[in-house]
Chain A
Amino acid sequence: DTEVTQTPKHLVMGMTNKKSLKCEQHMGHRAMYWYKQKAKKPPELMFVYSYEKLSINESVPSRFSPECPNSSLLNLHLHALQPEDSALYLCASSQDLTGGRSGAFFGQGTRLTVV
Chain B
Amino acid sequence: AQSVTQLDSQVPVFEEAPVELRCNYSSSVSVYLFWYVQYPNQGLQLLLKYLSGSTLVKGINGFEAEFNKSQTSFHLRKPSVHISDTAEYFCAVRHSGAGSYQLTFGKGTKLSVIP
* Chain A contact residues, CB within 8 Å of chain B: 4, 6, 31, 33, 40-43, 45, 48, 50, 55-56, 90, 92, 97-99, 101-109, 111
Contact = CB atoms under 8 A, between A and B. Distances in A.
A40 B32 CA distance: 24
Contact of B32 (A6, A99, A106): A99
26 contacts: A33-B101, A41-B107, A41-B108, A42-B90, A42-B105, A42-B108, A43-B90, A55-B101, A56-B101, A97-B98, A97-B99, A97-B100, A98-B98, A98-B100, A99-B94, A103-B32, A103-B34, A103-B49, A103-B94, A104-B46, A105-B46, A106-B36, A107-B43, A108-B42, A109-B43, A111-B41
Nearest to B99: A97
B45 A106 contact: yes
B48 to A, nearest CB: 10
B51 interface: yes
Across chains A and B, which 9 residue pairs bring their CB atoms closest together, nearest first? A42-B105, A106-B44, A108-B43, A106-B43, A109-B43, A97-B101, A107-B43, A103-B49, A48-B101
Contacts of A55: 101
Q: Is the interface of B mostly helix, strand, loop or mixed?
A: loop
Nearest to B9: A40
Contacts of A103: 32, 34, 46, 49, 94
Interface residues of B, number: 24
Contacts of A107: 43
Contacts of B99: 97-98
Given A42-B105, A98-B100, 9 more contacts: A42-B107, A97-B98, A98-B98, A99-B94, A103-B46, A105-B46, A106-B36, A108-B43, A109-B43
Interface in B77-114: 90, 94, 97-103, 105-108
A31 B76 CA distance: 28
Contacts of B107: 41-42
Nearest to A42: B105
Given A45-B103, A109-B43, A111-B41, A101 B51 contact: yes
Contacts of A56: 101
